Amino acid sequence: MKYGKISVSGINIFYREAGNPESPAMILLHGFPSASHMFRDLMPMLQDNFHVIAPDYPGFGQSDMPSRDKFTYTFDNIAEIVDGFISAMDIGKFYMYVFDYGAPVGFRIALKHPDKILGIISQNGNVYSEGLGKKWEARAEYWKNPTPELRESYKSAFAPETIIGQYTFGTKPGSVSPDGYTLDIHYTHRPGYDEVQSDLIFDYQSNVKMYPKFQEYLRTYKPQILAVWGKNDPSFIPAGAEAFRRDLPDAEIHFVDSGHFALESCCEEIAGLINGIIRG
């Protein structure tokens, strides 16, 4: 495993890298409230078949967190930075692993560069309205009526107990290491983190509005899709995985007995499915 930073539009982006650069590239795009460390166990399991690269987004993990007056925290802008990162790393065609926030980031890049996408692994990476769990109904009301009080209330999304719950809900007792969520909680203490993340919670509505475009991309370009889903995830429910077959009847759909952060308890199973892409 290698670690580094590269400047993209004046922002230092941290990344993890493993595998042979001559192997097919795979970009791993993390979710909220995590960073590339969520792939710490997966990358060694993929490195024999793929050149795996996992960046931290601006404001996440070990990457810079520019002030909000210098960088507007939207999913459009994060996707632009990740796209710039891919170019700066001189990556041509690649597979994408998208999880949670990584789905709207990655699908924006796929819309812009459909010729570069070798295939997509979506692990609880939703692009369908039917995949939105119950909590999104309240979020939709917030987007319609974004009062300061509601913005403040949604900061509970990165409270320690909420983060721990994201990792452990729907998993077997004792199957989730505390390492991942402890590091996530540590990053929430960065100055300005709460307002940055609140901006992204509000901007998530832009992703839902883009779902029809993401689905049109799937129908038009027919990328190879492996949807592997923690079936007990309350945020992005199994219907979001099953919906891929509406646009791509040949999509591979697999459910694992886990929750949102399925890699924490089912990493070997997920890695086996991904490595199967290369084996045929």
pLDDT confidence of residue 167: 97
pLDDT confidence of residue 151: 96
Domain that holds residue 81: 2-279
**Alpha-carbon distances, residue 148 vs 73, 145, 154, 198 (angstroms):** 18, 10, 10, 11
Mind telling me the catalytic residues? 260
Tokens (6 digits) for 268: 């070997």
Query: Mean pLDDT for each 10-residue chunk of the chain (280 residues)?
Result: 97 98 97 97 97 98 97 98 98 97 98 97 98 93 95 94 96 96 97 96 98 98 97 97 97 97 98 83
CATH number at residue 202: 3.40.50.1820
Provide the Cα torsion 223, 224, 228, 233; round to 10°: 10
pLDDT confidence of residue 277: 79
| Number of domains observed in the structure of the chain | 1
pLDDT confidence of residue 168: 97
Among residues 7, 9, 154, 146, which one has the least CA distance to residue 77? 9
Q: Please tell me the pTM assigned to this model.
A: 0.97
Contact partners, residue 64, CB within 8 Å, separation at least 6: 11, 12, 13, 58
